[in-house]
Structure 1
Amino acid sequence: MTELRKPFLLLAGVFAVLTVALETGSALLTAHADTAGLTTATKGLGMETGGFEDVRGLATPYLALIDVIVIFTLGLYLLSLLLPRSAVGRASGAVTVVGAVLLLILAIGLLIAAVRDLILMVTLFVAAPFGTIVYLIRWGAFPLDDAVLLLRLLIFLKVVVFAMLLLAQPRFLQNKGLVALLATTGLATLAVTLVYGFVPTILVSIVDAAAAVVIAAVAAIWASILALGSLPAVVEAIRASRSSVR
């Protein structure tokens, strides 16, 4: 049996956190960008909009709804290295249920918000001529090239996370849930990148909102799976605690 290489597991967690930070526009990366040289670096990559925060649209931040599950899963693995596995096992069920329910509520709320924005965009776009003019002023100039560049960077980081997990322990491939989760976030990011190129630039904002709706729905499904899958562990923990009291 191959021994777990802890540094690679830690690196996987670090890159997963970095991915979510880029998706959400974490202040750790965007605040004081000029001081940190981030603006200069992004311009060197061809991003002239003043920073990553200008190019995310809706779909890219929504990807974080799925990637936080990756961070949570890796966090449990890392905790098991610091704390007794029995303690982590007993607590993980309840923590997972609570976290999954909160994520489900957040995903549903963001899903509703994305649907609202999508309906507004489509309604304005087809309400020629004045509605179309309002749409073009507000959403017609989507920074497509910069957004695609950011998405490609996210894809690279997610591949790195997967590679770090394989280097840490090839047996991670046997964890079907983790593999499915990594495949979901990777394919979702790739799909957003591809669909951006299928429509004219003036329609990318609509496609972006539609992608956000799908991503939020997928995140809600994953949250439901986590919550339901953790219930048996919670029930077992409750039974064990009652038995110990007796």
Structure 2
Amino acid sequence: MDRLRTPFFFVALVALGLVVAVETGSSWLLGLTTPALDTATQLGADVPPGVAERPGGIAISYLALIDVVLLGTAALMGVAILASKRVHARLQGLATLIGAIILIITALVLLFVAIAKLILMVSLLLAFPFGTIVYLILFGSFPRGEAATVLSLIMFLKVVAVVCLVAAQQRFLQNKGLVAMVITSLLGNVVAVFLHGMVPGVLVSITDAIAGIVFAIVGIVWAIVLIVGAIPALIRAVQVTVESTKQLKAAAAT
């Protein structure tokens, strides 16, 4: 029970890495550069090839703002296996603090992007008739089927990661922070699937942007939690460094 089964742990780490990779690369997986000429033709609008693009949404890529927290936590746990306790103690607080700050900045920028996109889409949709036509051309052909496939793949990888983490060490279940991260990550998938399926196809781009806003906010909250948790670790690391320096000076003096 107390022994860490390293192969299972590293399989979980790889699975989480693939999750973040798929999420950040979802724009290519969903074919964002496919011209939306079918919609334009149906509406009788003359759109030059390549001008209008089929939107793949932002929700899946914004999921990475949540899952990168889980990946980073697992990576630090892996460092604890490979490095000494002293090195890990010093690295954990600093790496967590830097990573959390970067996450907050990134999430804030993406949050404003998502809000701006949502305002644009709603404004176009309500500006009948010409604004509505533009909305349908640019955002009305959301690839819901492809998005569902990608979300299913992501959920499968997350389940693999969770199962392998539990198989690696059952005591991980006693880590409330880790369990909360896993639950948040899984709920993110559920929210994305729900918001993609609750409205007609022409409105999915709007609910997708709403999901992106939610994920960005959740990412910011987790980053703040990480910063709060990193402060004690940094203080301990500084104390250990100071004590080590004093011991070295005392040894040199003798």
TM-score normalised by length of structure 1: 0.86
How far is the alpha carbon of 1:28 from its aligned partner? Answer: 11
Counterpart contact for 1:141–1:202, Cα < 8 Å = yes
- Which amino acid is 1:58 matched to? I
Alignment partner, residue 71 of structure 1: 71
- Which amino acid is 1:218 matched to? V
Query: What CA distance in whole angstroms lies between the structure 1 residues aligned with 2:85 and 2:245?
Result: 21
Alignment partner, residue 202 of structure 1: 202
Distance 1:56 1:89, change over 3 A: farther
Query: What CA distance in whole angstroms lies between the structure 1 residues aligned with 2:99 and 2:217?
Result: 17
How far is the alpha carbon of 1:68 from its aligned partner? Answer: 1.1
TM-superposition CA deviations, 1:44-72 (whole Å, max 9, x none): xxxxxxxxxx8742000000111111111
Counterpart contact for 2:26–2:150, Cα < 8 Å = no
How far is the alpha carbon of 1:6 from its aligned partner? Answer: 0.2
Alignment partner, residue 145 of structure 1: 145
Alignment partner, residue 43 of structure 1: none
Question: What is the number of equivalent residue pairs in this alignment?
Answer: 223
- Give the RMSD, CA atoms, in angstroms: 1.9
How far is the alpha carbon of 1:244 from its aligned partner? Answer: 2.9
- Which amino acid is 1:164 matched to? C
Q: Does 1:22 align with 2:22?
A: yes
Give structure 2 stretches of 5+ with no counterpart: 31-53, 247-254
Query: What CA distance in whole angstroms lies between the structure 2 residues aligned with 1:167 and 1:28?
Result: 33
- Which amino acid is 1:131 matched to? G
Alignment partner, residue 46 of structure 2: none
Query: What CA distance in whole angstroms lies between the structure 2 residues aligned with 1:145 and 1:28?
Result: 15
Q: Does 1:242 align with 2:242?
A: yes
Distance 1:56 1:72, change over 3 A: farther
TM-superposition CA deviations, 1:110-133 (whole Å, max 9, x none): 001100101000011011111111
Alignment partner, residue 186 of structure 1: 186
Distance 1:28 1:147, change over 3 A: closer
Query: What CA distance in whole angstroms lies between the structure 1 residues aligned with 2:171 and 2:56?
Result: 35
Query: What CA distance in whole angstroms lies between the structure 2 residues aligned with 1:158 and 1:89?
Result: 27
- Which amino acid is 1:97 matched to? L
How far is the alpha carbon of 1:86 from its aligned partner? Answer: 2.0
- Which amino acid is 1:185 matched to? S
How far is the alpha carbon of 1:176 from its aligned partner? Answer: 0.6
- Computing the radius of gyration over CA atoms, which structure comes out larger, 1 or 2? 2
TM-superposition CA deviations, 1:14-35 (whole Å, max 9, x none): 01111111111189999xxxxx
- Runs (4 or more) in structure 1 with deviation over 6 Å come to 26-30
* Stretch deviating more after TM superposition (73-82 or 171-180): 73-82
Alignment partner, residue 131 of structure 1: 131
How far is the alpha carbon of 1:96 from its aligned partner? Answer: 0.6
Query: What CA distance in whole angstroms lies between the structure 1 residues aligned with 2:186 and 2:24?
Result: 16
Partner SS, residue 136 of structure 1 = helix
Alignment partner, residue 58 of structure 2: 58
Query: What CA distance in whole angstroms lies between the structure 1 residues aligned with 2:126 and 2:29?
Result: 38
How far is the alpha carbon of 1:91 from its aligned partner? Answer: 1.6
- Which amino acid is 1:129 matched to? P
TM-score normalised by length of structure 2: 0.83
TM-superposition CA deviations, 1:75-114 (whole Å, max 9, x none): 1111111111221112210111011011111011100110
